[in-house]
Amino acid sequence: MPREPQSGAVKLVGAGPGAADLLTLRALRAVEGAQALLYDALISEEVLALAPAGCLKIQTGKRAGRASMRQETINRLMLRLARRGLNVVRLKGGDPSVFGRVGEEVAFLAGHGIATEVVPGVTAACAAAAQFNFPLTHRGQARRAVFTTARLEAGTLQADWSAAADPQATLAIYMGGGAAEELGARLVAAGRAASTPALAVENAGSPWARLTRGTVGDLGRLVEGAKGGPVLLVVGEVAALASDGAVGEALDQALSA
């Protein structure tokens, strides 16, 4: 009788903010050895090109605010491919453990006897800080960094922003572009000064990243020029140390030349 194929494994890999040279060596090796690659919508073509020619590539389309493959469907797809004996790579933007649903996926696969490995990646807040020359923590200005999301339900923010009132906390808000104006109002209501420096970083870590500077009081204005890329909002005194938006402007000029 033919033997059942031995189950493969699933690696949940952080692709970082988009540039291939920001992949870790472990992430690079995982992608290069993948037999099946399930990748999020924001993964760059540069990174996808690192997969073997015969690799099965499936775009899962996970992107906030847009139609995407259901999480349950992604889970079942990973399971089915692993049961075929394939080396499966679930490729996520940024770091899998930062708003990447890695806990749900690991629990699902473990419950079905599939071995998993999580490979970390550079998350957007760290990429933005490095790219635009500001620290997330800084002696005398920021004693902690808080990573959060702007979760909307029925058009209303569903989070308690009182913890963000600490003047020595740097607040990195993922997926906050669509709620920036309300976020500013919530932060002021929670006790954060309207004059607190703030940034909007679109496409953090990529060559076409765009930085807009302002304050909590005009947080909504900071996202007005966004061109559809993922927006990270940064609130805190360290935001005043950031460079200007010359990176994005220089790229625009080069592309229009």
Catalytic residue numbers read 40, 62
Strands 116-119 and 10-14: parallel
**Which neighbouring-strand residues pair with 55?**
none
Confirm if 89 and 31 have CB atoms less than 8 A apart: yes
- How many residues make up the chain in this entry? 257
Rounded CA separation 242/233 (Å): 13
Amino acid at 203: N
Strands 56-59 and 88-92: unpaired
User: For tokens 């080069």, what's the residue?
Assistant: 254
CA distances, 60 to each of 28, 68, 74, 172, 185 (Å): 20, 7, 7, 26, 34
* CA torsion angle 128 226 45 134 (round to 10): -10
